[in-house]
Amino acid sequence: MGASCRRGLVLAVAGLVLGLPVCFGFAPSAAAQTSVEPVRVVVAVLPFRIHSAQPLGHLERSLADLLESRLEASGRVTVVESLVVREAMVGYASGELTEEALRRLAADVDADWVVAGSLTELAGRYSLDVRVTPVREGVSSHSLAYTAEGDDELLDRMNELADRILEILAGESPRAKVSEVRVLGAEGLDPDPRRASACAPERPTTRRWRPPTSPC
């Protein structure tokens, strides 16, 4: 074997071991190097409306920021920038937005869904009311409600809210869990079906009438 052949073989083996694209002069294709990005759902989160006698105006934006961060952390959601949302809301009347207005607002900011919520505080207790509305006609919106006793529980409810919104965006609904099965009118029955069948009263047998045979 010549020196040039041995040198080419050494380079090929080194490429296999080190994972270098020197083997036999072939380079990885662009298709192999390109990773497919998952399709993300675009969501616009509106500033929360605050109802409280206390100075809680800072929660208007901080709750929306917290929800946006939680949704984006899933890797399945792209959140519309808050500045874009605020500029789009200028064209709508103040107060509670109707479902039709929320759908138009979602279309204005090129979002698939829009999240609008309000927080009511009374004597340290919180009530969260949130509506998740799609841009498409014919797709139902979702109304969500949570309560919290204090700031710590409010943070927990916000995390639960984000999880529920992710379920809605994925087209999943919470499955009902069966906690107990009760058979009404079954008091006094033996739970063992084998003993129950053994102790069951025998059914009376019914004999079919036959005509008497002739002695002849």
Answer yes or no: do 113 and 83 share one domain: yes
Does some domain include residue 59?
yes
At 133, is the secondary structure helix, strand, or coil? strand
Answer yes or no: do 23 and 98 share one domain: no
What tens digit of pLDDT does each residue of 18-61 get?
A: 444 444 444 444 444 555 556 789 999 999 999 999 999 999 99
Answer yes or no: do 154 and 82 share one domain: yes
Predicted confidence at residue 46, as pLDDT, reads 96
Domain final position from 149, 169, 189: 169
Answer yes or no: do 54 and 159 share one domain: yes
For residues 89-113, give the mean pLDDT.
Answer: 89
* pTM tops 0.75, yes or no: no
Does some domain include residue 179?
no
Assigned token pair, 42: 């675009």
For residues 70-85, give the mean pLDDT.
Answer: 95
Answer yes or no: do 60 and 122 share one domain: yes
Burial of 116 (0-12, 13-18, 19+ CB in 10 A): buried
Separation between Cα atoms, residue 143 and residue 49, nearest integer Å: 15
What tens digit of pLDDT does each residue of 106-151 get?
A: 999 999 999 999 999 999 999 999 999 999 988 999 999 999 999 9
Pick the more confident residue, 210 or 80.
Answer: 80
* Domains in the chain, number: 2
Answer yes or no: do 63 and 27 share one domain: no
Quick one: DSSP state of residue 139? S
Answer yes or no: do 105 and 24 share one domain: no
Answer yes or no: do 111 and 48 share one domain: yes
Any residues with CB less than 8 A from the CB of 117 and at least 6 apart, and which?
46, 48, 49, 63, 67, 128, 129, 130, 131, 161
Residue 9 has pLDDT above 90, yes or no: no
Answer yes or no: do 140 and 110 share one domain: yes
Domain encompassing residue 154: 41-169
Answer yes or no: do 22 and 94 share one domain: no
Answer yes or no: do 56 and 154 share one domain: yes
Assigned token pair, 48: 């929360």
What tens digit of pLDDT does each residue of 164-204 get?
A: 999 999 985 443 333 444 545 545 555 555 555 555 555 55
CATH code for position 47: 3.40.50.10070
